Chains A and B, each alone.
Chain A
Amino acid sequence: MSNEQQDKPVKISLEKIKSQDKIEVTPINPLQLVEENEQQEAAQIVFKEQTKGGIKRLFWPAFSTLVIGAATFQTYQFIQELFLTNAMLGMAGIVVAGAALVSGGVALFNGWRARRRLANRQSAQQEFKRILQQDSYGKAGHSLQELTQEISEYVEISVLEKKYQSAKQQVHNDHELIQIYSNSVLAGLDKMALDIISKHASEAAVMVALSPLAIADMALVAWRSSKMIQELSRLYGCPQTAFGRIDMTKQVFKNMMLAGASELVAEAGVEMLGKTLTASVSTKVAQGIGIGVLISRMGIQTMSLCRPIEFTEQNKPRLSHLRKAIYNKVVGIVKNTDRDKNEERVKSPIIDDITQND
């Protein structure tokens, strides 16, 4: 067997090597090792892809071709008409149409890239999960380096990166390497992410608590959560555009519904505590806190969607930390405004009337 020969021990004196110059000795570069070990096939049970009916499949391509074709045709006719009226007007029409085409194309392209980035991130997540289950050596270094580059395009992480570099050793296997990366670089990002979530959630909570209109509440939630998702996805190195964000929001909600049931049970107790406390302040404040919690949950789901290495039981972010921050902020602000109102009440009796009418 050819394999057996490879297994025989070899001992070489370094001096001898230098004199002979035949044997090449290099320090280990983990990047070279990647493809050397063949990949183990993980047993996976997946649904086979369902084939859709022929006619049904035709709908979207046909529909979009129709719309785009009609629009192109209309634009062409429109510009032609403009040219008939005045050449200058026609030129202006071409410029405007061109600008719309280019900017729209760029936006579409960016959206497509953002979606691809998200899809890549998901597959990276799967890849790391697979490596974590194996006992391999030398496979993860390459992927982790790529990941660092990806993230550092958007976030300055040299401090975290340094921490990772000083903690890792040549002898660490893939499992350990990924853990160290998760505990150094990603843990730093997680901290920042939680700050972002708590900022947005508490802001939204305060706004809802203070806003008088239900329809405004809804707009607020949509606006703040979209903004938060944008910031979070950027932080983890896969920023989403407006189009991509819709896709992401969809996934976030899906995950929330799936994971929601079990989480809800665990969190219900604390939530109830929050409610009984806040109910005594006002129902509006309670609503605000409810919204804050909702946005925090969305934030946490976004985190686990964007984080390249899945959370473990130990480092999973918990809602309870965020809830406290939200509660303190909302109650603090509402109390302050109450006090302000009371002070104003002394000054002008008219405002007093208005608040009573509320």
Chain B
Amino acid sequence: MSEKDWFKESYYTAKQLVERGLDKHVRIAVTGLSCSGKTAFITSFINQLLFAADNDRLPFFDMSKQQRIVGAKIQAYPDLHIPEFRYSAAIEYLTASEPQWPPSTSSIAQSQIKIRYKVSNRWYKKAKEFSSLTVDIVDYPGEWLLDLPLLRMSFKQWSTQCTECLGRGSRKELAQDWLDSQNKTQLSEMYDEQSVSEIAQSYRAFLQRCKQSKANISLIQPGRFILPGELAGAPVLDFFPVVDESILAQDWSSFEAESTVRVLEKRFNYYRDKVVKPFFYEYFSKVDRQILLVDCLSVLNSGYESYRDMQFTLSQLLQSFNYGQSNWVKRLFNPSIDKLMIAATKSDHVPPEQHRNLEAFMQNMLQQARNDIRYEGIKMESMAISSINVTQPVMAEHDGKKLMCVQGVEQSTKETIINFPGKIPQQPPTKQQWSDLEFDFVNFAPSNLSPGALPHIRMDKVLHFLLGDKFL
């Protein structure tokens, strides 16, 4: 590296540090399990910002309401090794002649948006009439997010957790193949590469079955076993949890270093320290705003087991983030999340009358986790949103009763339908009540979207909550 380059680089770093000190840089973590609508959310988020300058559909985003936004644009990301979020491709998908949702994400992508706005603070205004805010936003496969709780666990703890999970719901049936193959091997003996690799193979197959099963299982760890990315076929993915109670009860230090259990532990540790840790360190440690997207509708469709599973998974996830009030000194050196929004997505699939119920349902589901976060002094809000609104509410009369329904194009049949999905309870139902409840949330496909500002539900509130206070 020449001296000039070095100077340039340090100048760039210093400038970045100063900008962060002056609050001009926000990094938003969009978190959510797979199929919770992250890509759609990011697409809509960027879209709303790009059109915020003259869009009167954002009544709760003060900056837009006061017409202080001059303009916004997507900027080339300075970290060139990370692929860019393909915003225009996503819009292309939505507005095509046969519109469809953007495909689910299979690797990481990042986007940077720069917003130019009128300064309203009376002191800063004297120095500068216009200023700009840079927003970083990262998209990544939701499957990988589930690796986050692993960071706090040892192999033994993880195995214990997996054993407990196997007792719940339909997992046991799905896992039968893998359990059989594991039972054939003596885990405390010397390891044999061939058989370990075979068992790992059947464990991965089990996870794939969980993913595809109708029971809507959330907790599928480790995430890279489903979507290996660049790690496909690498030996680091050849491990599986030990679910043999008798081995779990023993002290593992008595086993030989070459025993199967110890080898599995070694691989787990490698996976945790060399794959998961750097990933989250790079993308999430510098985050100062977070939004958690929750798809309550699939949970309501699938019932009690799925509800418990998602509740457990999300609580685990939320515990893994680094929360704390950030002042500017702290932000400079060790930024942490100071605002969290928990959003129930796809609320356009629910009649507007029931949005409040949807919110209450989600709040109740995450009550414990929310309580823990609030204890840390984080500003938190939860609401029912829809990144891209593809339905419209209608009243329909059915069997002499007036029902508020939603009308839209069904994803599977491409037919226009009117759907009353059932009444969402505000209080979390008991196990008994769950079996009585019946829901039918249909997946709607996008239709009739123009390439301009996308229709949405409460994205303006999201923008205001996540960015509102960052404008000077």
A16-42 interface code vs B (CB 8 A; 1 in, 0 out): 010000011111110010001000000
Contacting B at CB under 8 A, from A124-183, are 135, 137-138, 163, 166-173, 176, 179-180, 183
**Nearest-Cβ distance from residue A153 to partner chain B, whole angstroms:** 25
Residue of B nearest to A170 (CB): B393
Kindly list chain A residues whose C-beta atoms are within 8 Å of the C-beta of B57. 166-167, 169
Jot down 7 A-B pairs with beta carbons below 8 A, ordered by A. A4-B436, A5-B399, A10-B420, A28-B394, A137-B353, A179-B60, A184-B59
Contacting A at CB under 8 A, from B435-462, are 436-440, 442, 457
Q: Is A7 an interface residue (CB 8 A)?
A: yes
Bound CA–CA A332/B217 (angstroms): 74
Q: Is the CB of B394 within 8 A of A12?
A: no
Q: Is B327 an interface residue (CB 8 A)?
A: no
Q: Is A15 an interface residue (CB 8 A)?
A: yes
Q: Is the CB of B418 within 8 A of A12?
A: yes
Kindly list chain B residues whose C-beta atoms are within 8 Å of the C-beta of A8. 422, 438
Bound CA–CA A70/B461 (angstroms): 67
Q: Is the CB of B348 within 8 A of A25?
A: no
Kindly list chain A residues whose C-beta atoms are within 8 Å of the C-beta of B402. 36
Q: Is the CB of A10 within 8 A of B403?
A: yes
Residue of B nearest to A8 (CB): B438
Bound CA–CA A137/B59 (angstroms): 18
**Nearest-Cβ distance from residue A25 to partner chain B, whole angstroms:** 5
Q: Is B428 an interface residue (CB 8 A)?
A: no
Q: Is B43 an interface residue (CB 8 A)?
A: no
Q: Is the CB of B423 within 8 A of A7?
A: yes
**Nearest-Cβ distance from residue A148 to partner chain B, whole angstroms:** 16
Q: Is the CB of B396 within 8 A of A14?
A: no
Q: Is B257 an interface residue (CB 8 A)?
A: no
Residue of B nearest to A36 (CB): B402
Bound CA–CA A291/B13 (angstroms): 57
Contacting B at CB under 8 A, from A59-115, are none
Q: Is B417 an interface residue (CB 8 A)?
A: yes
Q: Is B352 an interface residue (CB 8 A)?
A: yes
The answer to whether A9 and B439 touch (CB under 8 A), given A26-B394, A179-B60, A180-B59, is yes
Q: Is the CB of A169 within 8 A of B398?
A: no
The answer to whether A11 and B420 touch (CB under 8 A), given A23-B396, A26-B395, A171-B389, is yes
**Nearest-Cβ distance from residue A2 to partner chain B, whole angstroms:** 10
Bound CA–CA A263/B21 (angstroms): 37
Bound CA–CA A112/B352 (angstroms): 42
Q: Is the CB of A171 within 8 A of B417?
A: no
| Most chain A CB atoms below 10 A, which of B60, B353, B419, B421 | B353
Residue of A nearest to B423 (CB): A7
Q: Is A355 an interface residue (CB 8 A)?
A: no
Q: Is the CB of A28 within 8 A of B355?
A: no
Bound CA–CA A179/B353 (angstroms): 18
Q: Is A51 an interface residue (CB 8 A)?
A: no
Q: Is A13 an interface residue (CB 8 A)?
A: yes
Main secondary structure of the interface of B (DSSP, over half): mixed
Q: Is the CB of B438 within 8 A of A171?
A: no
Q: Is B129 an interface residue (CB 8 A)?
A: no
Bound CA–CA A9/B404 (angstroms): 11
Bound CA–CA A23/B353 (angstroms): 21
Bound CA–CA A179/B420 (angstroms): 28
| Range class of the A interface residue count | 35 or more
Q: Is A50 an interface residue (CB 8 A)?
A: no
The answer to whether A9 and B417 touch (CB under 8 A), given A137-B352, A171-B348, is no
Kindly list chain B residues whose C-beta atoms are within 8 Å of the C-beta of A312. none
Bound CA–CA A8/B392 (angstroms): 20
| Range class of the B interface residue count | 35 or more
Q: How many A-B residue pairs have CB under 8 A?
A: 107
Q: Is A6 an interface residue (CB 8 A)?
A: yes
Q: Is the CB of A163 within 8 A of B403?
A: no
Q: Is B186 an interface residue (CB 8 A)?
A: no
Residues of B within 8 A of A (CB): 56-57, 59-60, 65, 347-348, 352-353, 355-356, 389, 392-399, 401-405, 407, 415-423, 436-440, 442, 457
Residue of B nearest to A180 (CB): B59
Residues of A within 8 A of B (CB): 4-15, 17, 23-29, 32, 36, 135, 137-138, 163, 166-173, 176, 179-180, 183-184
The answer to whether A168 and B59 touch (CB under 8 A), given A10-B420, A12-B417, A14-B407, is yes
Residue of A nearest to B420 (CB): A10
Bound CA–CA A118/B403 (angstroms): 38
Kindly list chain A residues whose C-beta atoms are within 8 Å of the C-beta of B436. 4
Bound CA–CA A94/B418 (angstroms): 72
**Nearest-Cβ distance from residue B157 to partner chain A, whole angstroms:** 41
Residue of A nearest to B424 (CB): A7
Q: Is the CB of B393 within 8 A of A171?
A: yes
Bound CA–CA A163/B64 (angstroms): 13
Kindly list chain A residues whose C-beta atoms are within 8 Å of the C-beta of B392. 27, 170
Kindly list chain A residues whose C-beta atoms are within 8 Å of the C-beta of B353. 137-138
Kindly list chain A residues whose C-beta atoms are within 8 Å of the C-beta of B396. 10, 12, 23-26
Kindly list chain A residues whose C-beta atoms are within 8 Å of the C-beta of B389. 171
Q: Is the CB of A6 within 8 A of B401?
A: yes
Kindly list chain B residues whose C-beta atoms are within 8 Å of the C-beta of A11. 417-420, 440, 442
Q: Is the CB of B418 within 8 A of A25?
A: yes
Inter-chain pairs besides A11-B420, A28-B393, A169-B57, 14 sampled, C-beta below 8 Å: A11-B417, A11-B418, A11-B442, A14-B417, A15-B416, A25-B394, A25-B397, A26-B394, A26-B396, A167-B57, A171-B347, A171-B352, A171-B393, A176-B60
Bound CA–CA A185/B420 (angstroms): 34
The answer to whether A13 and B440 touch (CB under 8 A), given A26-B394, A173-B355, is no
Q: Is the CB of B415 within 8 A of A13?
A: yes
Residue of B nearest to A187 (CB): B65
Kindly list chain B residues whose C-beta atoms are within 8 Å of the C-beta of A10. 396, 398, 403, 405, 419-420
The answer to whether A28 and B404 touch (CB under 8 A), given A10-B398, A170-B352, is yes
Residue of A nearest to B440 (CB): A9
Q: Is the CB of B398 within 8 A of A23?
A: yes
Q: Is the CB of B419 within 8 A of A169?
A: no
